[in-house]
Amino acid sequence: MISVIIPTHKRSDLLDLALESLRQQTFTDFEAVVINDGGRTLATSVSPWRRHFDVTLVELPAHSGVSKARNAGIACAEGDLLAFLDDDDVFLPWHLETAHKAVTSKAADFVYLGALVADQRLTALPADTTGMHTKAYAFDPRFLLVANYIHTGSVVTRNFYKDGARFNEALTHCEDWDAWLALTHGLGYRAAFVDELTAIYHQVPRSGGLVASAQLTVPSPFTLARERIQARWPSADEQVVAFRGWMTAFEDHRNQRIRGRLPIPHQMFDAVLRDLHQWFTTGREPDHRLIPGYFEAPL
């Protein structure tokens, strides 16, 4: 069985869309674990969905952040596999089935699939995705030490509760990246990628999400998280060190922009990630001169 971990905080309308995407799954051996991260009770909101699939509701007494919420859900998950669905994202109908087949056929502990990055609310793949970003990168354990290229909602992994892994509750950002490193580098989980879009990752402008809010303060929470994760997962690999240096310079430039109250282009990091992955996997050196150009992209 797959336990789908869904943290939510004061977004019951979006939660309904996420749960509807679960109702449409072709794979039915799953449970939903909804964690209400503070706020008013969701008992009434969640109750109707129990007609369609098993739902466990965990209600935290106060808002504590996504890491603690996910950890609370994992603690009561009954599945031998875990999937993750944020309340503002959706699974496509074949997501769980495709992932479950991959876990079995590839003998993997940790599977992830592709995600479409959308700047408007979608419940299905558009007919034409030309010009849209995706998070659909082949697994490279060395590049994972540089940047997080795996969307949280793309992952289906062995239940790691008994292995002692947890989302780091000290991190407010990039906690998923730290968790993937803990599983693949720390615990040696065998990873596999399925090159198929099975989830929609919403990055909607002016939606008040973590990505947008993180670009309002200096230093950016992404800068702080990156520094902590790099310290926790050190590397002497020369290529990793060089690309980490590029990312540090990128963060410095972003912080200068934020300090000067200059705009940050929407979905900029998806363009950065696309280029970095290509450079890294083809052996190209990272060029620091290119950093300012990412901030000159159209908003």
| Average pLDDT of adjacent 10-residue blocks, the chain of 299 residues | 96 95 98 95 96 98 95 98 97 98 94 96 93 95 98 98 97 96 98 97 74 68 95 98 98 92 89 96 96 80
Positive or negative torsion for Cα 121, 124, 129, 132: positive
Closest CA to 159 of 82, 77, 72, 70: 82
Contact call for residues 127 and 157 (beta carbons, < 8 A): no
CA distances, 103 to each of 84, 96, 285 (Å)? 15, 10, 34
CA 75 to chain centre: 20
Res 204: pLDDT: 87
Neighbour count for residue 10 (Cβ, 10 Å): 15
**In a 3-state reduction of DSSP, which class is residue 237?**
coil
pLDDT value, residue 61: 94
Contact 78, 66 (CB under 8 A): no
Q: How far apart are the first and last CA of the chain?
A: 43
What pLDDT is stored for residue 217 in this prediction?
A: 76
Which of 135, 93, 129 lies closest to 113 in space, CA to CA?
135
From 151, 264, 231, 247, select the one nearest 198 (Cα to Cα): 151
Q: Which two tokens stand for residue 203?
A: 């990055």
The predicted model scores a pTM of 0.94
Given this model, what pLDDT does residue 299 score?
A: 44
Cα(171)–Cα(178) distance, integer angstroms = 9
Distinct helix (H) and strand (E) counts, the chain: 10, 9
Measured distance CA(83)–CA(81) in Å, rounded: 7
Per the omega criterion (within 30 degrees of 0), is the bond before 219 cis? yes
